[in-house]
């Protein structure tokens, strides 16, 4: 029985196994393991060490949970913004068979450059355009 007690003490204090793990490994009750380790002078120090370790793990786990939650929220927000933009675009395109100049400029943003002196958007002359495309669109 002496070897068993030393083995239990080594498993608990040196290998830092849990009481249940030791009990399962040695096929004895966890109450017996607890009784033996509490008799050792290192018990309170080990208990504080394990408490601090558990607290640090819990903090890391909470931080990871919060990060994952924020990332999920960010993805959901981006998706909601995209859906809103899609609904808005659908409304603008389906109101009638005619797009307003402002909406046309939004849909062809790369074709128009803003001229601050005249306060209007001007069609890029380097591009080929049809007669129906406005040369410039006044700022609203």
Joined together, the tokens standing for residue 7 give: 């083995």
In total, how many domains does the chain have? Answer: 1
> pTM for this one?
0.51
CA 96 to chain centre: 42
H/E element, 72:
helix 43-94
Assess if residue 110 is contained within a domain: yes
pLDDT at residue 59 in the model: 97
Assess if residue 55 is contained within a domain: no
- Domain of residue 109: give its range: 98-140
Q: What confidence category does residue 1 fall into, taking pLDDT thresholds of 50, 70 and 90?
A: very low
DSSP state of 109: G
**How many residues are there in the chain?**
140
Examine the pLDDT at 93 and tell me if it is beyond 80. Answer: no
Assess if residue 57 is contained within a domain: no
Contact 74, 106 (CB under 8 A): no
């Amino acid at each position: 029985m002496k070897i068993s007690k030393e083995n239990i003490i080594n498993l608990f204090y040196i290998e830092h196994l849990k009481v249940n793990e030791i009990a399962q490994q040695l096929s004895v009750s966890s109450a017996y393991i607890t009784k033996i380790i509490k008799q050792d002078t290192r018990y309170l120090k080990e208990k504080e060490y394990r408490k601090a370790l558990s607290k640090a793990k819990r903090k890391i786990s909470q931080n990871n949970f919060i990060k994952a939650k924020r990332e999920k929220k960010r993805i959901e927000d981006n998706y909601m913004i995209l859906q809103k933009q899609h609904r808005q675009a659908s409304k603008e395109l389906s109101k009638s068979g005619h797009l307003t100049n402002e909406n046309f400029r939004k849909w062809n943003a790369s074709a128009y450059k803003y001229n601050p002196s005249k306060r209007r958007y001007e069609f890029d002359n380097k591009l080929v355009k049809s007669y129906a495309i406005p040369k410039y669109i006044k700022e609203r």
